[in-house]
Chain A
Amino acid sequence: MNSGRGRTHGATVAPLQAPDAYRQRSRYAWFLGRARRHTVGVVAAAVLVAVFLTAAAAPLIVPRSPFHQDLDLRTMPPGTRNGAVVYLLGTDQLGRDVLSRVVYGARISLAISVSAVVGSAVIGTVLGLATGFWRGPFDRVVMRLADLQLAIPLILLALLMVTLWGPTTQNLILTFAITNWPLYVRVVRSTTLVIREAQFVEAARALGQANVTIARRHIFPNVLNSIIVLGSFQMAQLIILEGALSFLGVGVRPPYPSWGNMLADGRGYMEVAWWLVLFPGLAIVVTALAVNIVGDTLRDVLDPRLS
Chain B
Amino acid sequence: MTRLIARRLSDSAIVLLLATVVVFTLLRLLPGDPAMLMLGEHATPQTLANLRASFGLDRPVAVQYGLFLRDAAAGQFGESIRAQRPALGYVLGFFPATLQLATTAVVVTLVVGIGLGVLSAAYRGGVIDALARGLAMLAQSTPNYWLGLMLINVFAVWLHWVPASGRGTPSQLVMPAITLSFVLIGLVLRLTRTEVLDVLRSDYVRTASAKGLGRGAVLFRHVLRNALVPVVTVVGLQLGSLLGGAVVTETVFAWPGIGYLTIQAVETRDYPVLQTIILLAVAAFLLINLAVDLLYAVIDPRIRYE
Q: Is B one of A's binding partners?
A: yes
For residue B30, which residues in chain A have a CB less than 8 angstroms away from its CB?
164
Closest residue on chain B to residue A283 by CB atoms: B146
Query: How many contacts A-B (CB < 8 Å)?
Result: 129
For residue A250, which residues in chain B have a CB less than 8 angstroms away from its CB?
266
B275 to chain A, nearest CB (A): 8
For residue B247, which residues in chain A have a CB less than 8 angstroms away from its CB?
153, 155-156, 159, 248
Instruction: Say whether A307 faces chain B, with CB atoms less than 8 Å apart.
Output: yes
Asked whether B145 lies within 8 Å of A244 as measured between CB atoms, the reply is yes
In the bound complex, CA of A291 to CA of B244 (Å): 22
In the bound complex, CA of A289 to CA of B146 (Å): 14
B15-38 vs A, Cβ < 8 Å mask (1 yes, 0 no): 100110010001100100000010
Asked whether B145 lies within 8 Å of A263 as measured between CB atoms, the reply is yes
Neighbour of B248 across the interface among A148, A244, A277, A284, CB < 8 A: A244
A83 to chain B, nearest CB (A): 31
Neighbour of B263 across the interface among A145, A161, A164, A248, CB < 8 A: A248
In the bound complex, CA of A278 to CA of B157 (Å): 14
For residue A280, which residues in chain B have a CB less than 8 angstroms away from its CB?
146
Known: A248-B248, A296-B137. A160 touches B26 (CB 8 A): yes
Asked whether A152 lies within 8 Å of B137 as measured between CB atoms, the reply is no
Asked whether B274 lies within 8 Å of A160 as measured between CB atoms, the reply is yes
B199 to chain A, nearest CB (A): 16
Neighbour of A247 across the interface among B14, B152, B248, B278, CB < 8 A: B248
Instruction: Say whether B149 faces chain A, with CB atoms less than 8 Å apart.
Output: yes
In the bound complex, CA of A49 to CA of B241 (Å): 30
Instruction: Say whether B282 faces chain A, with CB atoms less than 8 Å apart.
Output: yes
Neighbour of B244 across the interface among A144, A156, A307, CB < 8 A: A156
Asked whether B18 lies within 8 Å of A161 as measured between CB atoms, the reply is no
Q: Which of B136-153 contact A (CB under 8 A)?
A: 137-138, 140-146, 149-150, 152-153
A253 to chain B, nearest CB (A): 14
Instruction: Say whether B237 faces chain A, with CB atoms less than 8 Å apart.
Output: yes
Asked whether A277 lies within 8 Å of B150 as measured between CB atoms, the reply is yes
A247 to chain B, nearest CB (A): 5
Instruction: Say whether B269 faces chain A, with CB atoms less than 8 Å apart.
Output: yes
- Among B140, B142, B150, find the residue whose CB has the most chain A CB atoms closer than 10 A: B140
Instruction: Say whether A154 faces chain B, with CB atoms less than 8 Å apart.
Output: yes
- Among B18, B149, B157, find the residue whose CB has the most chain A CB atoms closer than 10 A: B149
Asked whether B251 lies within 8 Å of A248 as measured between CB atoms, the reply is yes
Known: A240-B143, A244-B248. A271 touches B26 (CB 8 A): no
For residue B277, which residues in chain A have a CB less than 8 angstroms away from its CB?
156
Instruction: Say whether B71 faces chain A, with CB atoms less than 8 Å apart.
Output: no
For residue A263, which residues in chain B have a CB less than 8 angstroms away from its CB?
145-146, 149
Q: Which of B196-238 contact A (CB under 8 A)?
A: 237
B255-299 vs A, Cβ < 8 Å mask (1 yes, 0 no): 000000011001101000010011001100110000000000000
Tally of contact residues, A, Cβ under 8 A:
44
Asked whether B266 lies within 8 Å of A164 as measured between CB atoms, the reply is no
Q: Which of A248-275 contact B (CB under 8 A)?
A: 248-250, 260, 263, 267, 270-271, 274
- Among A151, A156, A244, A263, find the residue whose CB has the most chain B CB atoms closer than 10 A: A151
B279 to chain A, nearest CB (A): 9
Closest residue on chain A to residue B19 by CB atoms: A148
Asked whether B266 lies within 8 Å of A147 as measured between CB atoms, the reply is no
In the bound complex, CA of A250 to CA of B157 (Å): 27
Instruction: Say whether A103 faces chain B, with CB atoms less than 8 Å apart.
Output: no
Asked whether B143 lies within 8 Å of A281 as measured between CB atoms, the reply is yes
- Among B19, B145, B274, B285, find the residue whose CB has the most chain A CB atoms closer than 10 A: B145
Instruction: Say whether B243 faces chain A, with CB atoms less than 8 Å apart.
Output: yes
Question: Which residue numbers of A lie inside 8 Å of B, CB to CB?
Answer: 144-145, 147-148, 150-157, 159-161, 163-164, 236, 240, 243-244, 247-250, 260, 263, 267, 270-271, 274, 277-278, 280-281, 284-285, 288-289, 291-293, 296, 307
Q: Which 4 A-B pairs have the closest CB atoms?
A: A281-B146, A153-B244, A288-B141, A155-B244
* Further contacts, 15 of them, CB under 8 A, given A156-B281, A240-B143: A144-B18, A150-B285, A151-B281, A152-B281, A154-B241, A155-B248, A156-B262, A157-B22, A244-B248, A247-B248, A248-B248, A250-B266, A277-B150, A285-B138, A288-B142
Ordered by A's residue number, 18 sampled pairs between the chains whose C-beta atoms are within 8 Å are A144-B18, A147-B15, A153-B241, A155-B248, A160-B26, A160-B266, A163-B269, A236-B141, A240-B143, A244-B248, A250-B266, A274-B153, A277-B150, A278-B150, A284-B146, A285-B142, A288-B143, A291-B141
Question: Which residue numbers of B lie inside 8 Å of A, CB to CB?
Answer: 11, 14-15, 18-19, 22, 26-27, 30, 37, 137-138, 140-146, 149-150, 152-153, 157, 194, 237, 240-241, 243-244, 247-248, 251, 262-263, 266-267, 269, 274, 277-278, 281-282, 285-286
